[in-house]
Amino acid sequence: MINILLVLRLYLIVIKGINLTCKHFGTCGSCGLYDTSYEAQLKAKEQRVRGLLSPFFEGTLEVFDSPTSHYRARAEFRIWHEGERCDYAMGNITKNGAINIEECPKVIIPIEKRMWRLLEKINASQEVLKKRLFAVEFLATTTDECLITMLYHRKLDDIWSEEAKEIETLLDCKMMGRSRKQKVILSDEYVTEKLNIDGKTFTYVQYESGFTQPNPTVNVKMIEWAITQAKKVGHGDFLESYCGLGNFTLPLSGYFDKVLATEISKRSIHAALENCALNDINNITFARLASEEMTEALNGVRAFERLKDIDLKAYDFSTVLVDPPRAGLDEGTIALISQIEHIIYISCNPDTLARDLEVLSKTHSVTDAAMYDQFPHTAHVESGVFLVRK
């Protein structure tokens, strides 16, 4: 059955160019910026990033915007039980409770077209699907794959699997169930994303419990900006810390001789190796190391059994890319990358980026900078800088 509301919404976005609002703006805590236009939000974020970077950069800040609706490929919703009925719920804007939601226009279409039909099936179920269900997670791709994970406070049995399998077929998706110390995989625990990046198609396996960039459109813009910087170098070896599943690693690897990429998560390293094979890339070596461990290994402070087959002395790094968590870089990593000629720093927190630039600017100059709006209708903003050794 065609969802008339969904078709109308797409028409307004694509044909009319209208920035849609959500009926829950002002009560749902997921979108804190709801009383100004998207253009005003973007301008405020640009001014904030520009101000933080002003002591280190006087050039033009590139601004990469987002679709204002249907941009988020990963989402989690609580389940609120009221009598025999279940509803999706989100934390409220005052952070002291939750509200039931009837729409969520920020999720991409592959999620939106399935989430409400799933809720109908949950409510139609006698007990099997709804009993002690407390959350549902969605992971989707631009190519219409969708993985739905249902989270429970009870042990799942074969009867649950049978009903969930029917929904999997009905919704043309992949279903999983989780409870304490239990994971039920009905088909796969991943989706496969294909992104067109700088004229090439890259394939990424994205696992249910692994980190993925939530906004595919802005993610491509981030990667392409990093590629622009890599093309300016075009030689030597490439080092990456916090590489995840190879989001930046794979597209950037073509501009360097050898690549060493590190990541602490076993699941992410597994996905990165799989993605390398899927894209027929053979100049990348992945190592399971935290950022601090990478620094110790490259400085010869500590030997790691995980690196026994990797000759670290064989690398001549011309460029490093770091994409740390909100806390920014540790002192050891800053000292290490200060010795490398080119630095691409992707940041999910412009405040800690500015803090780290106070040290990095002693050895490097910021020659390019950008901001990326991964999360419209929130105060969160991501940014990137390209530094060249003085």
Instruction: Identify the CATH number of the domain in which residue 299 sits.
Output: 3.40.50.150
Q: How confident is the model at residue 351 (pLDDT cuts 50, 70, 90)?
A: very high
pLDDT reading at 218 higher than 50: yes
Task: Verify that 240 and 362 share a domain, yes or no.
Answer: yes
Written as one string, the DSSP assignment of 89-100 is EEEBTTSSSEEE
Task: Verify that 221 and 241 share a domain, yes or no.
Answer: yes
Task: Verify that 58 and 101 share a domain, yes or no.
Answer: no
Between CA 274 and CA 268 the distance in angstroms is 10
Q: Are 211 and 190 a contacting pair, CB within 8 Å?
A: no
Q: How confident is the model at residue 1 (pLDDT cuts 50, 70, 90)?
A: very low
Q: How confident is the model at residue 304 (pLDDT cuts 50, 70, 90)?
A: confident
pLDDT reading at 7 higher than 70: no
Task: Verify that 346 and 230 share a domain, yes or no.
Answer: yes
**Is residue 321 situated within a structural domain?**
yes
* The total number of structural domains that make up the chain: 2
- 215 by Cβ neighbours in 10 Å (0-12 / 13-18 / 19+) ranks as buried
Predicted confidence at residue 3, as pLDDT, reads: 53
Predicted confidence at residue 320, as pLDDT, reads: 98
pTM: 0.92
pLDDT digits (tens, 9 = 90+) for 241-254: 999 999 999 999 99
**Is residue 293 situated within a structural domain?**
yes
Q: How confident is the model at residue 385 (pLDDT cuts 50, 70, 90)?
A: very high
State mean pLDDT over 281-305.
Answer: 90
> Phi and psi for 208 in degrees, rounded to 5?
-55, -40
State mean pLDDT over 334-341.
Answer: 96
**Is residue 14 situated within a structural domain?**
no
Task: Verify that 240 and 349 share a domain, yes or no.
Answer: yes
Task: Verify that 113 and 238 share a domain, yes or no.
Answer: no
Picking from 107, 142, 120, the residue whose alpha carbon sits closest to that of residue 22 is 107
Task: Verify that 184 and 301 share a domain, yes or no.
Answer: no
Distances in Å between the Cα of 23 and the Cα atoms of 18, 34, 85, 243, 387 are 15, 10, 21, 38, 43
Q: How confident is the model at residue 339 (pLDDT cuts 50, 70, 90)?
A: very high
**Is residue 19 situated within a structural domain?**
no
Task: Verify that 155 and 229 share a domain, yes or no.
Answer: no
Task: Verify that 220 and 355 share a domain, yes or no.
Answer: yes
pLDDT digits (tens, 9 = 90+) for 130-168: 999 999 999 999 999 999 999 999 999 999 999 999 999
Q: Are 378 and 32 a contacting pair, CB within 8 Å?
A: yes
Q: Strand pairing of 74-82 and 85-91?
A: antiparallel
Cα-Cα-Cα-Cα dihedral sign, residues 231, 237, 240, 243: positive
Task: Verify that 251 and 146 share a domain, yes or no.
Answer: no
Helix (H) or strand (E) holding 150: strand 146-152
Say which residue, 298 or 4, is predicted with more confidence. 298
Mean pLDDT of the chain: 93
Between CA 265 and CA 91 the distance in angstroms is 28
Residue 357's domain comprises 52-66+215-389
- The residues assigned a catalytic role are 348, 382
**Is residue 77 situated within a structural domain?**
yes
pLDDT digits (tens, 9 = 90+) for 168-196: 999 999 999 999 999 999 999 999 999 99
Predicted confidence at residue 27, as pLDDT, reads: 93
Query: For position 133, which CATH number holds?
Result: 2.40.50.1070
CA Rg, the chain, in Å?
22
**Is residue 16 situated within a structural domain?**
no
**Is residue 27 situated within a structural domain?**
no
Task: Verify that 266 and 374 share a domain, yes or no.
Answer: yes
Task: Verify that 136 and 244 share a domain, yes or no.
Answer: no
49: helix, strand or coil: helix
Predicted confidence at residue 15, as pLDDT, reads: 41
Which residue in the block uniquely carries the two structure tokens 């999620």?
A: 111
Tokens of 324: 């740390």
Q: Are 250 and 202 a contacting pair, CB within 8 Å?
A: yes
Predicted confidence at residue 34, as pLDDT, reads: 83
Say which residue, 279 or 313, is predicted with more confidence. 279
**Is residue 35 situated within a structural domain?**
no
| Type of residue found at 101 | I
